[in-house]
Amino acid sequence: MWVARAWLLGLAFTLGACASLPAPAPWEDEPPLSYRITYTRSPTPGLNVEVFPSRSFPPQFLFRQPGRVASVIATDINGNQFDITPRDGALNLPSRTTVLRYRYPLVSSPGERGRHMFGGMGEGDAWHVAGKAYLLTPRHVTPGMRAEIKVFGAKALLPWQPDDNGVYHLRGADLIDAGFHAFGGNRCTAHVGESVLEVVLLGRFTHLSAGNLCTWIMEAAREVRTVRKTFPYPRVTVRLVPVPGKSTPGEFGMTLWSSPPSISILVGQDATVESFAKDWVAVHEMLHLTHPAFVPREAWLSEGLATYYTEIVRARSKRQTSEQTWRELTNGFARGQAAAGSRPMKEVVAEEGNYMGIYWTGALFALHLDVELRRVTEGSARLEDVLELLATRGPTATLASFGNAVDTVAGQPLFGALLARHLPKPAFSELAPLLESLGVRIDPGGVTLHAAPGSVLREDLDVARSPNAAR
């Protein structure tokens, strides 16, 4: 599940409307916005935050996910203090403010799993929180804006790499998409090729050591490499949060578009090493790293790609057989079809909260697109080639630029015509003929794979291309 950088679209429109480059905002030439974050244990866990704005910063600040901070103390250049109550997370700084101080309480959030991950999760001296929940930021952020963060009182794992003095250097985009943060906990590191995954365990696990958990993350990352030639980022941070009373290794996961992206996974506290074999959550979240952030957000496409490849890569790594892969896919398509009913794809993918419909409608389209790419190029191209091409074009994409990349890889118009086949019709109407052509039969006892016009192509889906392949 993603939070995409929708603000970049507006920025692109703004820049595109000007014939000449705009002058930098005055605060871009000032010292950076400085944050001093101190983790405290007494009387209860929390973050004492001090913000030091430069004189040219605009006075409008806000919490991008408000709710926890009831009071901010502003001190001006003469030492006068002002107690400010944020309204809907927003506040205006008094004239000549030199420092803002507030406390963010670290307590587990009530509500759904995803909401826990943003507002706060943890116990003792190990805590998880989203940066946008506790960082007070300027309301208007420009790409050239600079900020620095320094953390005291606990070892922190933020999305960014600190310098040798422990200072995190941020740009404007980092204040908008601040990712997930961790304070305290135990660390381990996984290496995949030349990439590093920094992992923090935010609590106690009954049967699993740090080594067990890091190996699990490393193996999931290796499965991602069956889709991309190299792991997509040189450094990624992963937070693992135990869920008491649960034994499923991946209870829930989320990837945020910080730069680099940050991943958090809720892990059953009673999970075992043996249970990792059937987990799909870790690799699913990492598969989001293989595609760009879609702006504006296209959940059906981003989740569809990750959901489709979640099954394919587990076949490529031999974690499951081809029959198991197609059973998982067809079972998922059945769940998606039940959620979609007879409605057309264009309605299903636009329905906020219809996760089964959105994920599995997108997964069917991804499968169909992969099959068509292989068919029209006689096996010389595949969907992975589209992702490789997009990676050379920057961290974001639109639906149109994704389609352009598909057509470039195919060597002919393909994306628009295929999408036009799917969108107006019942969401899963293309499923039965596609499975028949691939030699996938759904029987009362499960799934049977048999010879068919597209069965060789189906078998090739399970095979990872060599990283040194020519294309």
CATH code for the domain of 213: 1.10.390.10
226 secondary structure, DSSP code: T
pLDDT tens-digit readout, 236-274: 999 999 999 999 999 999 999 999 999 999 999 999 999
Model confidence at 57, in pLDDT bands (50, 70, 90)?
A: confident
- Residue 283 pLDDT greater than 80, yes or no: yes
How far CA 464 is from CA of 195, 386, 387, 388, in Å, comes to 19, 15, 14, 14
466 domain-assigned: no
Predicted pLDDT of residue 467: 59
Specify whether the backbone of 67 is left (phi greater than 0), alpha (psi in -120 to 50) or beta.
left
Residues contacting residue 415 through CB under 8 Å, at least 6 positions apart: 369, 402, 403, 404, 406, 407
* Residue 15, pLDDT above cutoff 60: no
Last residue of a domain, one of 255, 290, 325: 290
Distance of alpha carbon 275 from alpha carbon 366, whole angstroms: 28
391 and 285 share one domain = no
Q: What's the mean per-residue pLDDT of the chain?
A: 92
| pLDDT value at residue 114 | 56
Range of the domain at 201: 186-290
138 shares a domain with 54: yes
Mean pLDDT of 442-469: 88
402: amino acid identity, one letter? F
Any idea which residue has 């991804």 for tokens? Answer: 366
Task: Give me the pLDDT at residue 3, please.
Answer: 37
pLDDT in tens, 211-238: 999 999 999 999 999 999 999 999 999 9
Whether omega before 138 lies within 30 degrees of 0, making that bond cis, reads no
Q: How many domains does the chain have?
A: 3
Q: What is the pLDDT of residue 42?
A: 87
470 within some domain: no
Do 138 and 212 belong together in one domain? no
Digit-coded pLDDT (tens) for 360-403: 999 999 999 999 999 999 999 999 999 999 999 999 999 999 99
Q: Do residues 400 and 365 share a domain?
A: yes
- Domain membership of residue 90 (yes or no) is yes
| 355 and 317 within one domain | yes
CATH number at residue 75: 2.60.40
Given this model, what pLDDT does residue 20 score? 42
Q: Which residue has the tokens 């790409």?
A: 143
What is the C-alpha to C-alpha distance for residues 300 and 287, in angstroms, rounded to an integer? Answer: 15
Give the tens place of pLDDT for each residue, 65-106.
Answer: 988 999 999 999 999 999 999 999 999 999 999 999 999 999
In angstroms, the CA 21 to CA 34 distance is: 27
Residue 29 has pLDDT above 80, yes or no: no
Give the domain-ending residue among 243, 273, 290.
290
Alpha helices in 317-462 (DSSP H): 322-340, 345-348, 355-376, 383-391, 399-410, 415-422, 431-438, 455-461
Among residues 290, 314, 336, the one where a domain terminates is 290
Q: How confident is the model at residue 464 (pLDDT cuts 50, 70, 90)?
A: confident
Say if residue 334 is in the same domain as residue 314: yes
Angle (CA) 172-173-175 rounded to 5° is 70
**170 and 218 both lie in a single domain:** no
Is residue 323 located within the same domain as residue 437? yes
pLDDT tens, residue by residue, 136-160:
999 999 988 999 999 999 999 999 9
The answer to whether the beta carbons of residues 116 and 109 sit under 8 Å apart is yes
Q: How far apart are CA 127 and CA 182, in angstroms?
A: 6
The answer to whether 195 touches 234, Cβ cutoff 8 Å, is yes
Same domain (yes/no): 354, 224: no
**Is residue 469 assigned to a domain?**
no
Asked if the model's pLDDT at residue 446 lies above 50, the reply is yes
